[in-house]
Amino acid sequence: MSQAHWRVLIGSRSFGRATQEPLRRLQAAGCEVIPNTLGRAYRAEELRTALRDADAIITGVDQLTAEVLDSADRLRVISKHGVGLDNIDLQAARARGIVVTMTPDAIHDSVADLTLALLLALARQIVPAHNSTHSGHWARFIGVELRDMILGIIGLGRVGKGVAARARAFGMKVLAYDVFHDETFASQHEITFVELDELLAHSDFISLHAALNSGTAHLIGASELARMKPTAYLINTARGGLVDEAALVEALRAQRLAGAALDVFQTEPPGANSPLLQFENVLLTPHIAGQTEMGLRRMDEMAAENILRVLRNEPPLYRVE
Contact 50, 9 (CB under 8 A): yes
Which uninterrupted H or E stretch holds 18?
A: none
Cis check for the bond before 269: say yes or no (omega within 30 of 0).
yes
Q: What is the pLDDT of residue 84?
A: 85
Q: Where are the domains of the chain?
A: 6-106+292-311, 108-284
Per the residue annotation, which of 81, 108, 239, 309 is the catalytic one?
239
Q: What is the pLDDT of residue 308?
A: 97
Q: What is the pLDDT of residue 3?
A: 55
CA atoms within a 13 Å half-sphere pointing along the CA-CB vector of 133 = 7
Q: Is 111 helix (H, G, I), strand (E, B) or coil?
A: helix
- pLDDT (tens digit, 9 = 90+) per residue, 129-148? 999 999 999 999 999 999 99
- pLDDT (tens digit, 9 = 90+) per residue, 137-196? 999 999 999 999 999 999 999 999 999 999 999 999 999 999 999 999 999 999 999 999
| In the predicted structure, residue 2 carries a pLDDT above the cut 60 | no
Q: What is the pLDDT of residue 83?
A: 86
The residue-averaged pLDDT of 102-111 equals 94
Per the residue annotation, which of 21, 190, 268, 314 is the catalytic one?
268
- Spell out where 62-144 has E strands: 77-80, 99-101
- pLDDT (tens digit, 9 = 90+) per residue, 21-30? 999 999 999 9
User: Active site includes 239?
Assistant: yes
Per-residue pLDDT band for 4 (boundaries 50, 70, 90) equals: low
Which uninterrupted H or E stretch holds 265?
A: none
Contact 203, 229 (CB under 8 A): yes
Annotation: CATH topology of 108-284: Rossmann fold (3.40.50)
Percent of the chain with pLDDT over 70: 99
Q: What is the pLDDT of residue 271?
A: 87
The class level of CATH for 6-106+292-311 reads: alpha beta
Per-residue pLDDT band for 1 (boundaries 50, 70, 90) equals: very low
User: Active site includes 145?
Assistant: no
Task: Tell me which residue of 116, 63, 38 sits closest to 289, measured CA to CA.
Answer: 116
Per the residue annotation, which of 96, 287, 297, 319 is the catalytic one?
287
- pLDDT (tens digit, 9 = 90+) per residue, 265-296? 999 889 889 999 999 999 999 999 999 999 99
The residue-averaged pLDDT of 244-260 equals 97
Instruction: Please determine whether the domains at 6-106+292-311 and 108-284 fall in the same fold group of CATH.
Output: yes
Percent of the chain with pLDDT over 90: 91
The residue-averaged pLDDT of 62-69 equals 97
| In the predicted structure, residue 5 carries a pLDDT above the cut 90 | no
Contacting residues for 210 by C-beta, under 8 A, at least 6 apart: 154, 155, 178, 216, 219, 238, 239, 242
